[in-house]
Amino acid sequence: MKDFVIIGNKAVNGGKISLNDLPGSAGRMDVMCRCITSALFISFGMRRDVNIWLILKGEPGPEKIVRFNGETMRSLNPDERSSGSLIQKALLVNASEIEKQSTPGVFVRYGNLEKLLDEFEKEGRPLFYLKEDGTDILEMIQTPESAALLENGVYILGDNQGVFEADEKTIENTGASKISIGPISILSSQCITLILNALDRAADAAGTAGAAPNTPNAESYEE
Amino acid sequence: MKDFVIIGNKAVNGGKISLNDLPGSAGRMDVMCRCITSALFISFGMRRDVNIWLILKGEPGPEKIVRFNGETMRSLNPDERSSGSLIQKALLVNASEIEKQSTPGVFVRYGNLEKLLDEFEKEGRPLFYLKEDGTDILEMIQTPESAALLENGVYILGDNQGVFEADEKTIENTGASKISIGPISILSSQCITLILNALDRAADAAGTAGAAPNTPNAESYEE
């Protein structure tokens, strides 16, 4: 299982968001949507072993966490408007501290980064923080021990604004390992693509690939 | 200079496309939009040394080629609706065989894959065809000679439907080298991210990186 945690610094957490204005009034929700597509879609199928957690830190508060779960996901297409529409539905749910399913594979609750990372730590999951000065993931997959940790990793990324000081402190307090994906700073969604490609390569090299990501209803997720 | 050629098998080439229905009535134009974002955007900037050519093969015909040029691009944001809107404007131009600029950095003309690849061949550009059984690009960048060719490469990719037989024959007739980006078949836009990451790594290793992709107006392209 791989988990991606994306910090949406301005992403709204209530009200009805406009699908025609995801970058503007929805607080750069387009960034979140692209991350969802990168994390879940492959050609003619979906990565069933991936969760993506969106930390929505924008207006009006309090913060919410929306989770897209590859295993149970339905009615999602790779375009931004499709994932935006499922986020819209999640934000209209009467949220609580307990996760509720808004549509198949999409869950919402009140919560924040600290709480979420605390849960992952209690589960003993290895945490990785995407950072320019981190260890190159393509080097890390060369070592079977590192590759095994990465395969079961929780990956924490900022959005277009990066990660602010308070959140960075929260992440560093967990002892997350810093990893990097290349020499240039790129979009969050592109980082996810590169992480998953590294993991695909590691699984292929180890002969553990092929837990067929294509499922009977995958043909509806075509690209 | 890097060029990406994307074959849009159903992408419409005339009329006013609906920005609310890029995957449907516009013929999976969302695939084209994601490719544009992957090819041109980095964090807080744009890749000025990249062109992306969309071969629009859908209705109503004849085929058109829309080019997004990183060097002169303006008014483009990373969301699908933004690139979709520039494609929409390009399709409303009275096209001819000669390329016309529709908005800054976006160009349109009548043309097809064969014609475009013929032009690249005449310029002596190395052509690369993305294919599952191709040579791994991360291996290729280990050799300085291959890396130099890749740095100046023209990359040909299919869309969600892949590349049909007639187009594949056209590509093979050029003698394009087959390359691959990993063990799993993924989205066209994700392939572009992986190619550019390999080229970034090669440039970094060769010490030729840093032709500052950030330009004075780059801050408007934030993510």
Q: What is the ipTM of this complex?
A: 0.94
Using an 8 Å CB-CB cutoff, list chain B residues near A201.
182-183
Distance CA A48, CA A74 (A): 11
Residue labelled with tokens 């700073």: A185
| Closest residue in A to B184 (Cα–Cα) | A200
In a 10 Å sphere around its CB, with 0-12 CB exposed, 13-18 middle and 19+ buried, how is residue B214 labelled?
middle
What's the whole-number mean pLDDT along residues B144-155?
97
Mean pLDDT of all residues belonging to chain A: 94
* pLDDT tier at B210, thresholds 50, 70, 90: low
The shortest C-alpha distance from B204 to chain A (Å) reads 7
pLDDT at B208: 79
Q: Which of residues 136-195 of B touch A (CB under 8 A)?
A: 138, 159-160, 181-188, 190, 193-194
A125 touches chain B (CB under 8 A): no
Distance CA A115, CA A120 (A): 9
Using an 8 Å CB-CB cutoff, list chain B residues near A42.
184-187, 190
Distance CA A46, CA A67 (A): 15
Mean pLDDT of all residues belonging to chain B: 94
The shortest C-alpha distance from A24 to chain B (Å) reads 11
Q: Which of A23, A138, A186 sits opposite B77 (nearest CB)?
A: A23
pLDDT at A214: 40
Using an 8 Å CB-CB cutoff, list chain A residues near B139.
none
> Does residue B213 carry a pLDDT above 70?
no
Distances A4 to A120, B55, B83, B183 between C-alpha atoms, Å: 11, 34, 26, 21
**pLDDT mean values, one per 10 residues, chain A (223 residues):** 98 97 98 98 96 98 98 98 98 98 98 98 98 97 96 97 98 97 97 98 86 40 42
With residue A102 as reference, give the H or E element that holds it. strand A100-103
Q: Which of residues 90-119 of B touch A (CB under 8 A)?
A: none
Using an 8 Å CB-CB cutoff, list chain A residues near B204.
182-183
**Packing angle of the helix pair B29-40, B80-91 (nearest 10 deg):** 110
Q: Which of B77, B200, B223 sits opposite A182 (nearest CB)?
A: B200
pLDDT tens digit sequence for B150-185? 999 999 999 999 999 999 999 999 999 999 999 999
Using an 8 Å CB-CB cutoff, list chain B residues near A204.
182-183
* pLDDT tier at B17, thresholds 50, 70, 90: very high
Distance CA A168, CA A189 (A): 19
Pairing of strands B64-69, B106-110: antiparallel
A28 touches chain B (CB under 8 A): yes
pLDDT tens digit sequence for B65-122? 999 999 999 999 999 999 999 999 999 999 999 999 999 999 999 999 999 999 999 9
Is residue B117 within 8 A of residue B170, CB to CB? The reply is yes
Contact A81 B20 (CB under 8 A): yes
